[in-house]
Chains A and B, each alone.
Chain A
Amino acid sequence: MEGITGDHLVRAAALLGAAISMGFGAIGAGLGEGYTGGKAVEAVGKRPDEAGVITRTMIIGQAITETTSIYALVVALILIFVV
């Protein structure tokens, strides 16, 4: 562990930061997409004839919820490869 310079510390902090960004960033998106999917399945159970439109709305809703975790992924990749 000898010879640790400032550059090493910055690189180590960036890698840990990438992990924290992706790890915490995924929690909310995962819970949110699960909530959307759960409500959609409940709705299909009540109105099976409308399954097409419900599934379409679910996929759009989940895709938009997904964007928050994509932000976390982009920040993580920037911290790994650019910093």
Chain B
Amino acid sequence: MTIVTMFCMLGAAIALGFGTLGCGIGEGLISGKAVEGLSRQPGASGKIVRLMIIGQAIAETGAIFSLVIGLYLLFQTPDATLPKAFALLGAGIAIGLGSIGSGVGTGLPAAAAVDGVSRNPEQADILTVHMIVGQAITQTPNVFALTICLVLTSITPDPGIVSIAAILGAALSIGLGTIGAGIGEGMVAQRANYAVGLDPRNFPIITRTMIIGQALTETVAIYCVVVSLILIFAV
């Protein structure tokens, strides 16, 4: 057991521990609304459960990213150098913290869509489409975190305290910065799904407003990507 193995195991623990936190909350919100909806419309159980499973499968993405990175870190060879070990720890921090926001965020629109189907089962198709669009955009902060995480697994930083601080800083910046953007974009998509559930005829204008609102919320995550990339490559 070397100190390098220790850092990799710590990185795997952070990736899995934090990475599953948000997804657990998000998926719980969806199944909570589904159970509530089943008590309201027991006849529509097929449509409600189908939409719940699709929504939970998409909300699971962040946890799967974390699992893959966690397993990758656990099977690292112990002969890596100390700066490389810090880069791998950073990869675990980036994907672990980066999955929190999108995990909760992707749960919100799916919960609203399941609620809408339980109120009016005929709108299941339009709500499924709208839910998937909202969840896909909400997932983008998590994809940014995965990108930075993969960059961190592939680089070999210079030895020295400054470059190690830059690597850990890049991971913290993208990890913490995507929490707000992920939950925020989920809030926009949640309200959009409620609105479509109330009146599906307004589908096009609601989707347009939702995409503008989510794009503006996304800018915050883009700032964090820029700061992370500067810390990795320009310091």
Contact = CB atoms under 8 A, between A and B. Distances in A.
Interface of A: 1, 4, 8-9, 11-13, 15-16, 18-20, 22-42, 44-46, 48, 51, 54-55, 58-59, 62-63, 66, 69-70, 72-73, 76-77, 80
B188 A11 contact: no
B216 A29 contact: no
Contact of A48 (B171, B202, B210, B219): B202
Contacts of B161: 1, 4, 8-9, 12
Interface in B163-219: 164-166, 168-188, 190-192, 194-196, 198-199, 202, 205-206, 208-210, 212-214, 216-217, 219
A59 B212 contact: yes
Given A37-B217, A69-B220, A45 B199 contact: yes
Contact of B209 (A8, A16, A40, A63): A40
Interface of B: 82, 101, 159-162, 164-166, 168-188, 190-192, 194-196, 198-199, 202, 205-206, 208-210, 212-214, 216-217, 219-221, 223-224, 226-228, 230-231, 234-235
B216 A27 contact: no
16 contacts: A1-B82, A1-B159, A13-B165, A23-B175, A27-B176, A29-B180, A30-B184, A31-B184, A33-B217, A34-B181, A37-B187, A38-B192, A40-B213, A41-B209, A41-B213, A46-B195
